[in-house]
């Protein structure tokens, strides 16, 4: 389930982002309370796409995203759509960091972990998949940043073509076309990783 960028509270969210940018740290708390359910739906949409066996919960992912975003000393969000685009990136980074931690543990690298919430772990195979996906997105970002961002929004935030179009200022048709090309590239890239 994806969120809708065109809701009546859009102006309120943009105002709170402006207040936060102007130094009102409490504005972020008010903003987060307002968009929490949408962020949780985004996290849930991504986690539902993952193989069964993981125990990472959407709430844990959203709370970690909150901590990372609240710590931003120089927030620079343009509007509600931009905020959700950045949220997708933050969630991606959390999942990648967590997957790296799980891979390190699997290789005997110690017990270092990201403290999301009790009982929030990836299955070993999922950690490898998240890392491979992140690596592929990094490669795509060097070739075509927009396609990489569209895939990131889809896979890590569960955003629809309409949501991505609003964030990127593109038409839905353009996003769908870019998505088809990006997915074809990603399938080829991931097949090469899995084949090794």
Residue 1 covered by a domain:
no
* Residue 161: inside a domain: yes
In a domain, 3, yes or no: no
Using the structure block, give the residue that is written with the tokens 């949780």: 40
How many domains is the chain built from?
1
124 is a domain residue: yes
Q: Do the domain assignments include residue 112?
A: yes
Residues 13, 47: contact at Cβ < 8 Å? no
- Look at residue 173 in the predicted model and tell me its pLDDT: 95
Render pLDDT for 110-164 as a digit per residue (tens, 0 to 9): 433 333 332 333 344 566 677 777 788 888 889 998 998 888 888 766 778 888 8
- Residue 172 in this model has a pLDDT that exceeds 90: yes
pLDDT of residue 176: 94
Residue 51: DSSP 8-state: P
Residue 5 in any domain: the answer is: no
Query: What whole-number distance in Å separates Cα of residue 103 and Cα of residue 95?
Result: 12
- Does a structural domain hold residue 100? yes
Query: At 2, is the pLDDT very low, low, confident or very high (cuts 50, 70, 90)?
Result: very low
Inside any domain, residue 96? yes
Domain membership of residue 171 as a residue range: 10-195
Confidence label for 7 from pLDDT (cuts 50, 70 and 90): very low
| pTM for this model (two decimals) | 0.60
Average pLDDT rounded to a whole number, residues 101-107:
64
């Amino acid at each position: 389930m994806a969120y809708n960028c065109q809701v009546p509270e859009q102006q309120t969210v943009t105002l709170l982002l402006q207040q936060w940018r102007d130094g009102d740290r409490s504005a972020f708390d008010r903003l987060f309370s307002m968009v929490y359910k949408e962020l949780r739906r985004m996290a849930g949409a991504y986690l539902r796409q993952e193989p069964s066996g993981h125990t990472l919960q959407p709430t844990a992912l959203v709370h970690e995203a909150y901590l990372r975003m609240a710590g931003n000393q120089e927030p620079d969000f343009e509007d509600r759509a931009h905020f959700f685009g950045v949220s997708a990136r933050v969630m991606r980074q959390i999942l990648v960091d967590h997957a790296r931690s799980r891979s390190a543990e699997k290789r005997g690298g110690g017990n270092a972990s990201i403290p999301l919430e009790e009982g929030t772990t990836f299955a070993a195979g999922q950690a490898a998949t998240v890392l491979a996906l992140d690596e592929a997105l990094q490669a795509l970002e060097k070739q075509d940043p927009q396609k990489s961002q569209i895939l990131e929004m889809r896979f890590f935030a569960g955003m629809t073509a309409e949501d991505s179009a609003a964030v990127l200022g593109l038409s839905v048709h353009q996003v769908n076309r870019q998505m088809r090309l990006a997915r074809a590239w990603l399938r080829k890239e991931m097949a090469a990783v899995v084949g090794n």
